[in-house]
Amino acid sequence: MTEQHRPDADSAALEGEGGYDPTASSLQGSVDPAVMEELLSIRSSIDNFDATLVYLLAERFKVTQRVGWLKAKHQLPPADPAREAAQIARLRRLAEEAHLDPAFAEKFLNFIISEVIRHHQAISEDHQARQGEPREAPGANQA
Ligand SMILES: C=C(O[C@@H]1C=C(C(=O)O)C=C[C@H]1O)C(=O)O
């Protein structure tokens, strides 16, 4: 039995990941245990990649929020189609080099960008609404 598939290691993972069961499978019980073990071993790498993707996306959104605030402050439009076209052309090239389907890379980037633009629109609306609010007197929040 490999290190990461000892039952105690699995239960430790369950505690550490809010009840996530890395062994959950509709195939449990209907597949040769050795095959199941190999499948779980490969899936543990998939789990690491997925976690990394979530952290990478979270960091990307933190940065794009900053762009959103900057655009709202200076009344710039939420979307920048020329920038997007350049990014998509670049990512398609990178995808080809990496043997990833460039059409998938484009769809994925467009999906993320459209969410970013939605955030930027919300930031801009929020910023505009705040512009109409009366200014707080200096020191108003002090005890
Ligand atoms: C983040 C920006 O805003 C939008 C989102 C983009 C992105 O997620 O990469 C790119 C261009 C813009 O349409 C930006 O202008 O840089």
Q: Is residue 44 part of a domain?
A: yes
ipTM of the complex: 0.99
**Pairwise CA distance, residues 70 & 62, whole Å:** 13
For ligand 1, atom 7: residue with the closest CA: 113
Look at ligand 1, atom 15, and give the residue with the nearest C-alpha: 80
What is the span of the domain harbouring residue 120? 77-131
Does residue 133 or residue 85 have the better pLDDT? 85
**Cα separation of 83 and 91, whole Å?**
12
For ligand 1, mutation pick of 56, 59, 64, 118 (most atoms within 8 Å of CB): 64
pLDDT band of 134, cuts 50, 70, 90: confident
Residue with the two structure tokens 């919300």 = 122
Q: What is the pLDDT of residue 141?
A: 58
Q: What is the pTM of this model?
A: 0.83
Q: Are residues 40 and 92 in the same domain?
A: no
In the predicted structure, residue 101 carries a pLDDT above the cut 80: yes
Return the half-sphere exposure (C-beta side, CA atoms, 13 A cut-off) of residue 94: 10
Q: Which residues of 109-126 are buried (b: 16+ CB within 10 A; e: fewer)?
A: beeebeebbeebbebbee
Q: Give domain status of residue 136, yes or no.
A: no
Q: Which amino acid is at 22?
A: P
Judge whether 139 lies within some domain: no
Residues 50 and 86 in one domain: no
Token representation of residue 76? 């710039």
What is d(CA 22, CA 84) in angstroms, rounded to the nearest whole number? 37
Q: In CATH, what number is assigned to the domain containing residue 112?
A: 1.20.59.10
